[in-house]
Amino acid sequence: MILFLAYGAILLSFASGGAAIAHSCEPKVNKQLVFWLLGASGLSAIFAGLGELIYPEIRLDTLSLGLPWIPWHVHFDSLSAFFYLIIGIAVFAVSFYAPHYTHHEQKEPQGFAVLSLFTGLFIAGMMLVLLADDAFMFMIAWELMSVASYFLVAFQHENAANRRAAFLYLLMAEVGALLIILAFGVVASFADGFTFDALRASSIPTSWMSIAFVLALMGFGMKAGLVPIHVWLPEAHPVAPSHISALMSGVMLKVALYGLIRFCFDLLPEVHWEWGVVLLIVGTISALGGILYAMMQQNLKRLLAYSSVENIGIIVMVLGLSMIFLANDHKELAALGLLAALFHAFNHALFKNLLFLGAGMIHHQTHELNIDMLGGLIKRMPKTSFIFLIGCMSISSLPLFNGFVSEWLAFQTALQVDVLDNGVLRSLIPVSAAALALTAALAAACFVKVFGLIFLGVPRSRHAEKAKEIDNKGMLAAPAMLAGLCFFFGIFPSSILHLIDNVSKQLLGSTLPQKDVLSFLTLAPVSPEQASYTAPLILIGALIAAGVSFWILHRNSETTMRIAPTWDCGFGGLTPRMQYTSSAFTMPLRRIFATAFLLDEKVEKTMRENTKLNVADVRYSLVIQDHCWVRVYQPIERGVNRVAKQVGRIQTGNIRTYLGYSLATLILLLWVVSL
Amino acid sequence: MNWLIAILQTALFVALAPLLAGFMKFCKCRLQNRRAPSFFQPYRDLLKLTRKQPVISEDASWLFCAAPYIIFTAMVLAASVVPFIAVDLPTSAEADVIVLVGFFAFARFFLALAGLDIGTAFGGMGSSREMTISSLAEPAMLMAVFTLTMTASTTNLSGAIEHVLGEGLILRPSFVFALFALLLVAVAETGRIPVDNPTTHLELTMIHEAMILEYSGRHLALIEWASQLKFMLYGVLIANIFFPWGIAENFGLSALGYGLLVIAGKLIFLCIFLAFAETAVAKMRLFRVQEYLGFAYLLGLLGMLSHIILESTR
């Protein structure tokens, strides 16, 4: 039954793509059918995921698809189900959001058909990845996901910059896929067959196992967006339509994480703590680098893309912790780490989806994504602003919201370091915990900037001034639903943590140290003496404290508020341009972390009448470049160009030379055959 | 019964916070050869502000009016978590020290947003600086706190204090480092000299005051009270974690009374110490603050390493 639901979700998303084609060929077919099918697919995936998580059981199946002698092996366990749930929620939300959004973004029917077709294929591809139980099916599904999403990124291909971003995405996706194939190949060469069962049973030597791990980390990391192989993310996310960026950032990156978890924790026969350290360091760098670059962005969607790099970094970091504990035979703590990582992945899917959809709403109403051109939207778009505020609070990991719970669990995992024997680990992990604290604080600063500059203050442009609230219910309902979930799982995290615990039971053979303390109210993952967090009581306390103070202060009716113009220091003429901008807001941090960026800051002053004091005009320009581009990618690009030029020398353009090449090849082949 | 005591303790904490601020002002005035206002002046100020009519900018949104209540509430919640007179109260099991830091972050988030709400340059300046300083202070604080929690192997404040009490007086090098790290962070986070000056309204230097420049009336009263609470929270945190002796371990009336007296003594001592420091040190440039906080972080790190290398049982 549950497997049927899982298949149903895939078929429905294929059908949604099919309905889009049918609509473009035959306009009688209702356009809304596309979104109905998409929503049904999401719902089906949610039920499949929940069903499996509630009744954990490994469900196997074989489909007679693919190559004749290698049927597709299907495998649906708690880990797959958990990611199914993430996809399901995101797709369900998007199916409400997309009708109005795509209607306005794209007028011509062909565009709509292309967009919806590839959306359906993309979602089906992601779900197939989760079902795969052999390397062949995995790679086919993976490629379906990558290629379909390439067409989505390249959707608005009229713009040259978009084509470039899409090509970069495709290139990195394919290089990543090659690395993943190699990783599977390394393991498979010590196993008989390509099914995951065979890979699990392989007797692979440790050194080859490490090679496979590094290949998998690079391959999956390229998709997930780990520093320094994250560069496609900030290019591709801003150019895709918003609901697609929401799916890509909220869900596709999670599928890459699924691959990493499946490969490292499940397929490889054993884990080593050194790998955990690698994950920890890579994760820390990604988290810090991601948030520092996010802070400096002016384009909202670019900023959100960098913030995804940060969150993926946090997840990988906690996975590293889990791996370290697992390799040191502390299975319960490994389960705690895995729980924290998976819950953060879940939360990130919720709030990043919400924020991308919110960015789409802002763009839809103002045609503007530059933070410095917005402002004052809280009065013009009150509902959107409230929903967006919840997203900002969740991602800044403030208490009472879901982001805080997963970060809290991550800290709790890191603080269990005392059980380890290795002194290096014992000092490394707290330092990474402090880096996590820095990341969280910087994320809060970043999202204060985002919300403050977009929604608060005075409009900085005419577009922002003329903005109106979204009048489509579905477009508001999707992010509102996600915001509700963010709040719900912030208050009652145990409701989902119970289910995630089943994943670690299946994967690691161990649950949380004390399962019974995961009560409805209190969260005490290790033991109640060590740490506890009772969100519902805090919420009640907050309501009481706020209510009492409000009541006391509002008894006196003489103190009703008076509305007055803003004080302008007596000079008169406050203008919106006097407000802090994005680059002004982040200037102190830019200066403090100057070495993290490649800064090109120029101030040009034009003087009046040749004196040095009388400034007529000031121009300020700031270009911030990613270190990775200059230090990693440009050398590679130059190297590839150089090699290509050398290879180009054999291309003489003379037919006799080519005939000579053919002859030489023929002789060589004959020699090979005769051996 | 326990809940009642917990709520009473929180109420007492909230009620006493302005008194501590008044005392701090008194110490500073006396050290600087000025005539000091009464200890109760902060109460009079708060009362006066609540009776005044608040003036709101026409560009302000609902967030501007809601922020003071949110900030105040977050601080009250933080006050309920920190053991003040007695340990082992049910409220401290509700949230641990990481949640406490979360409450501070919550208040700061809304304070910074409120600063940006009116759309003046001052507000933005204050928000930008506040978020910068706090993002550097938070890891330093957590580093110091983690040293404690790893020693006590709990992040629960009551548990950590009971652990220190149970161990008796041991001079741990890690605690000395953590104490100084936390002191430096407390100075930065509560906006005291040398990081920020609560008594100045000079545009080049102000941080906290720049954010709340547009507030008046009861909103200002709430924010002022919240920052007094924050000051007292850090004071009580430092006093009770590092020198917990005297805190009430049962809920008998005499133990509670004794606990109140002892914490009052500790806070008076801390205030005098801080007043001396503030009088002796000048405010530093904004872009020296990162060195200051970097030093705090380093102290926290040293505390952590000395715990791992010197003190750990393994």
User: Does A628 have pLDDT greater than 60?
Assistant: yes
Are A119 and A187 part of one and the same domain?
A: yes
Name the residue in chain B with its Cα closest to that of A542.
Answer: B73
Q: Please indicate, yes or no, if residue A561 is contained in any of the structural domains.
A: no
Q: Please indicate, yes or no, if residue A336 is contained in any of the structural domains.
A: yes
Most B-contacting residue of A539, A561, A575, A589 (CB-CB within 10 A), to test interface: A561
Average pLDDT of span A548-555: 88
The model's pLDDT over A557-575, given as tens digits with 9 standing for 90+, comes to 777 888 988 888 788 778 8
Are A5 and A79 part of one and the same domain?
A: yes
Name the residue in chain A with its Cα closest to that of B65.
Answer: A561
Taking the CA of residue A412 and the nearest CA in chain B, the distance in Å comes to 8
Taking the CA of residue A616 and the nearest CA in chain B, the distance in Å comes to 22
User: Does A505 have pLDDT greater than 90?
Assistant: no
Closest CA to B77 of A451, A548, A347, A488: A548
The model's pLDDT over A273-319, given as tens digits with 9 standing for 90+, comes to 999 999 999 999 999 999 999 999 999 999 999 999 999 999 999 99
Residue A27 pLDDT: 78
Domain boundary among A543, A561, A578: A543
Domain boundary among A543, A564, A582: A543
Interface of A with B in 467-496 (CB under 8 A): none
Which run of H or of E encompasses A5?
helix A2-25
Give me the residue label for tokens 């960015």. A359
Mean pLDDT, rounded, of chain A: 89
Residue B203 pLDDT: 66
Residue A139 pLDDT: 93
The model's pLDDT over B76-96, given as tens digits with 9 standing for 90+, comes to 999 999 999 888 888 887 888
Residue A276 pLDDT: 92
Domain boundary among A202, A218, A237: A202
Nearest neighbour of B142 by CB, restricted to A396, A418, A434: A434
The model's pLDDT over A313-326, given as tens digits with 9 standing for 90+, comes to 999 999 999 999 99
CA distance A261 to A255: 10
User: A-chain residues within 8 Å CB-CB of B57?
Assistant: 563-567
User: Does A108 have pLDDT greater than 70?
Assistant: no
Task: For residue A496, give both structure tokens.
Answer: 């989902």
Are residues B55 and A562, on separate chains, in Cβ contact within 8 Å? yes
The model's pLDDT over A637-664, given as tens digits with 9 standing for 90+, comes to 999 999 999 988 888 888 899 999 999 9
- Residue A104 confidence class, pLDDT cut points 50, 70, 90: low
Are B125 and B210 contacting, i.e. CB atoms less than 8 angstroms apart? Answer: yes
User: B-chain residues within 8 Å CB-CB of A375?
Assistant: 119
Q: Please indicate, yes or no, if residue A227 is contained in any of the structural domains.
A: no
- Residue A398 confidence class, pLDDT cut points 50, 70, 90: very high
Are A531 and A599 part of one and the same domain?
A: no
- Residue B47 confidence class, pLDDT cut points 50, 70, 90: very high
Are residues B308 and A426, on separate chains, in Cβ contact within 8 Å? yes
Nearest neighbour of A545 by CB, restricted to B65, B73, B305: B73
Are A361 and A484 part of one and the same domain?
A: yes
| Residue B121 contacts A where some CB pair is shorter than 8 Å | yes
Question: With helix as H, strand as E and coil as C, how does A123-151 read?
Answer: HHHHHHHHHECEHHHHHHHHHHHHHHHHH
**What are the helix and strand counts (H, E) for chain B?**
12, 1
The model's pLDDT over A137-177, given as tens digits with 9 standing for 90+, comes to 999 999 999 999 999 998 888 888 889 999 999 999 999 99
| Sign of the dihedral through C-alpha A389, A394, B94, B146 | negative
The model's pLDDT over A582-616, given as tens digits with 9 standing for 90+, comes to 999 999 999 999 888 888 888 888 887 777 777 88
Name the residue in chain A with its Cα closest to that of B151.
Answer: A418
Structural domain that includes position A370: 271-543
User: Does A107 have pLDDT greater than 80?
Assistant: no
- Residue A114 confidence class, pLDDT cut points 50, 70, 90: confident
- Residue B313 confidence class, pLDDT cut points 50, 70, 90: low
- Percent of chain A exceeding pLDDT 70 equals 97
Are A497 and A416 part of one and the same domain?
A: yes
User: Does B206 have pLDDT greater than 90?
Assistant: no
Residue A520 pLDDT: 66
The model's pLDDT over B233-286, given as tens digits with 9 standing for 90+, comes to 999 999 999 888 888 888 888 989 999 999 999 999 999 999 999 889 888 888
Are A599 and A496 part of one and the same domain?
A: no
User: B-chain residues within 8 Å CB-CB of A445?
Assistant: 112, 131-132, 134-135
Are A280 and A184 part of one and the same domain?
A: no
Task: For residue A34, give both structure tokens.
Answer: 């596309």
Residue A587: partners with Cβ closer than 8 Å, 6 or more residues away: B128
Are residues A398 and B300, on separate chains, in Cβ contact within 8 Å? no
Q: Please indicate, yes or no, if residue A520 is contained in any of the structural domains.
A: yes
User: Does A211 have pLDDT greater than 90?
Assistant: yes
Are residues B301 and A580, on separate chains, in Cβ contact within 8 Å? no
Which run of H or of E encompasses A572?
none
Nearest neighbour of A438 by CB, restricted to B93, B135, B155: B135
Are A525 and A620 part of one and the same domain?
A: no
Nearest neighbour of B98 by CB, restricted to A393, A411, A430: A411
| Residue A578 contacts B where some CB pair is shorter than 8 Å | yes
User: Does B314 have pLDDT greater than 70?
Assistant: no
Task: Write down the domain spans for chain B.
Answer: 2-311
Most B-contacting residue of A374, A396, A411, A577 (CB-CB within 10 A), to test interface: A411
CA distance A151 to A322: 36
Are A621 and A482 part of one and the same domain?
A: no
| Residue A378 contacts B where some CB pair is shorter than 8 Å | yes
User: A-chain residues within 8 Å CB-CB of B287?
Assistant: 588, 591-592
Are A539 and A598 part of one and the same domain?
A: no
| Residue A435 contacts B where some CB pair is shorter than 8 Å | yes
How many angstroms from the chain centroid is the CA of residue A429?
24
Query: What domain count does chain A have?
Result: 3
Interface of B with A in 249-278 (CB under 8 A): none
Q: Please indicate, yes or no, if residue A664 is contained in any of the structural domains.
A: no
User: Does A576 have pLDDT greater than 90?
Assistant: no
- Percent of chain B exceeding pLDDT 70 equals 99
CA distance B130 to B191: 9
Are A88 and A175 part of one and the same domain?
A: yes
Average pLDDT of span A530-542: 86
